[in-house]
Amino acid sequence: MGRERIHVLLIEDNPGDARLIQETLAGRDDRMFCLTWEGDLGRGLDCLAAAPIDVVLLDLSLPGTQGLDTLSRVLDRRDDVPVIVLTGLDDEALSVEAVRRGAQDYLVKGETGGPLLARAIRYAIQRKETQDELADANARLEEANRRLEELATTDDLTGLWNRRYFLDMLSREFQRVARTGASLAVVMIDVDHFKHVNDTCGHPFGDRVLCNVAHAMQQEARTVDLVARFGGEEFMILMPETDARRAAVAAERLRLNVADRAIEGGRQTVAVTISLGVASFDEALDPTVLLRHADDALYAAKEGGRNRTMVWTEVGPRHADDVGATALARTGPGGEAAP
């Protein structure tokens, strides 16, 4: 056990039963047990709260409280201390239920002499310690699993959702809108001339730029939007209940937000711009096609001079299986989606 003394709290209103337990523990040669006796539950609870108690011996039938309610009041006061209930010969069913409710063991009054009581006390303490250790281990495991799930779905640098999580949610949203006919749009974003920023200012400053863009995206996004880092300097926004035109207006606000930011690091101050491509569910057969449309729109924005927002249905496809789409809208620097 690794203990010099075991502090036992006996809550028992029958002086005869209490004296028997006192004599049993006091008569042991090892003198390991230090017993405190209280004759009613109130004083027992006060002692439990104030004194260093290792185990409680609890009579379930006390003045003013009976049965499992007695146990509940003790456990409510200190659930970290093991409890052994003391019952009469006819209360075995109650005793078993008490163990199910949190007691470590039960003993029948009159049968607590000899080594039985000492052994029950030691085992109760050992079981409680094992239970607490298992509970702590389970809590650590749950936290580790939560952290692993977070690492699996979150981008370490920016704190945004990562590519894996974005694609999973895109697939789910696509299935939903396919059933309901609701609107859905995606915005693909690329930081302009990011390689030049890394080459001239260094990768730590490049990381600062990415975090700055991520922060701007979070500022502009609605609660229902899903903002993710797709890879490198590329980001994505999933916009439920949004058509291409409204998504383009939101994308343009984001573009202007980023362009207005001066990013500082040490002695360096850099103005960064982004290019954005918008696509919507209306023209896509599946999530892969939707992403391809957004990529085509982004490509057109970069080809058109960067620092602009383009909508796929205006720029047209770059892939043969996309031929046949019609133009809807286009935005440029300082502009909004055309009606």
Catalytic residue list: 233
Q: Take residue 274 and report the two structure tokens written for it.
A: 């982004």
Q: What is the DSSP string of 244-265?
A: HHHHHHHHHHHHHHHHTPEEEE
CB 185, CB 246: distance < 8 Å: yes
Helix (H, G, I), strand (E, B) or coil at 280: strand
Note every long-range contact of 49-52, with CB atoms under 8 Å and residues 24 or more positions apart, other chains counting.
49/77, 49/78, 51/7, 51/9, 52/7
> What SS3 class is residue 286?
coil
| Amino acid at site 158 | T
Q: What residues have CB less than 8 Å from 137, skipping those under 6 apart? A: none
- Distance, CA of 117 to CA of 21 (rounded, Å): 8
What does the alpha-carbon distance between residue 23 and residue 16 come to, in Å, rounded to a whole number?
11
Let me know: does 235 contact 223? Beta carbons within 8 Å: no
Amino acid at 97: E
Long-range pairs, 286-295, Cβ under 8 A, ≥24: 286/174, 287/167, 287/170, 287/171, 287/174, 289/321, 289/322, 290/170, 290/174, 290/184, 290/186, 291/170, 291/186, 291/188, 292/319, 292/322, 293/317, 293/322, 294/186, 294/187, 294/188, 294/236, 295/188
Q: Is the dihedral of CA 314, 160, 204, 146 positive or negative?
A: negative
Could you say which DSSP state residue 192 is in?
A: T
Type of residue numbered 96: V
